[in-house]
Amino acid sequence: MKKLIIIAAAVLSLCSCSVLTGIDWNAEGLASAAGKAMTAASITDEMVVELCRQSIAQLDAQATIENGPYAQRLARVMKGVNDINGVPVNMKVYKTDEINAFASGDGSIRVYTGLMDMMDDDELYAILGHEIGHVCNKDTKNSVKNAYLASAARDVVASAGNYGALASYLLGDIGEALASAQYSQKIEYKADKYGCQFAIDGGRDPYSMYNALQKLLTLSQDTNNSIIAHMFADHPQTEKRAAKVKAQADEYKAKSSK
């Protein structure tokens, strides 16, 4: 216990912030904390949210943001989805052929035009439900923590005390963890289930998660896009995932027709 208190005290004193007085993390403060001995348990929820916020700011700065018809469509499709776990959402579209989307604990939802081009509104809604599911199921939080700890283990940067450089690596690694997360099948099942229910609750076609998975399954046979990598980490299992959400939709339909 004493060791934990020392680590917590070190984190608080190294960062220009206190979780008790509000959030004022800066990238170098986070990096200097990362340069010290840390464990997953010592990374607070507030810290994860701030890591997400800064990493996504870096991704946004590198991306081409679409503010035209795609952004308008996204706003229309997601109308009524105002928060993720109580954190207000902020949505942006990245203009790229890549087929991807992700959400994070700071309320960010990022959608690539490549994905929007291939999905109808209901399918897009279900996929974003799947991504929000990863946040609500704490998958993104764990992914961010792991990326943070891995960055902290970059001895060469940390030991040189070059926290500015570490901060840049750190945010890049966490951005990568958010945008290209690879999860186990079990975790994907849960996110699919969440996405399917999200679509049902949103008044969308109950089969939209299933339809979206089918489209991605077809596409995965001839491309190597990041959402394919993310959503199909274990490719042979993909049909099982589709079958599960189909069963979930069937069950809903059967109940609602009684």
H helical segments located in 94-237: 113-118, 121-136, 139-152, 155-159, 163-179, 185-201, 208-220, 226-231
Kindly state the smallest distance separating residue 131's Cβ from Zn ion, in Å: 7
Looking at the Cβ atoms of 34 and 212, the one nearer to Zn ion is 212
User: Given the complex with Zn ion, which of 90 and 182 has the nearer CB atom?
Assistant: 182
Beta strands 101-103 and 108-112: pairing type? antiparallel
In the bound state, the residue with its beta carbon closest to Zn ion is: 191
Nearest distance from C-beta of residue 187 to Zn ion, angstroms:
7
Determine what percent of the chain falls in helix, strand and coil, rounding each to the nearest 5.
65, 10, 25
Q: Is 102 helix (H, G, I), strand (E, B) or coil?
A: strand
Toward Zn ion, which CB reaches closer, 25 or 232? 232
Cβ nearer to Zn ion, comparing 35 with 133: 133
Q: Which residues bind Zn ion (CB under 5 A)?
A: 188, 191
Catalytic residue, chosen from 28, 50, 131, 188, is: 131
Kindly state the smallest distance separating residue 252's Cβ from Zn ion, in Å: 21
The nearer residue to Zn ion, 147 or 166, going by C-beta atoms, is 147
**131 in active site:** yes
CB 79 within 8 A of CB 110: no
User: CA nearest 132: which of 163, 166, 99, 108?
Assistant: 108
| Nearest approach, Cβ of residue 133 and Zn ion (Å) | 8
Q: Are strands 83-84 and 87-88 parallel, antiparallel or unpaired?
A: antiparallel
Query: In whole angstroms, how large is the CA radius of gyration of the chain?
Result: 19
Residue 155 CA from chain centroid, whole number: 27
Q: Is the dihedral of CA 117, 62, 144, 201 positive or negative?
A: negative
Active site residues: 131
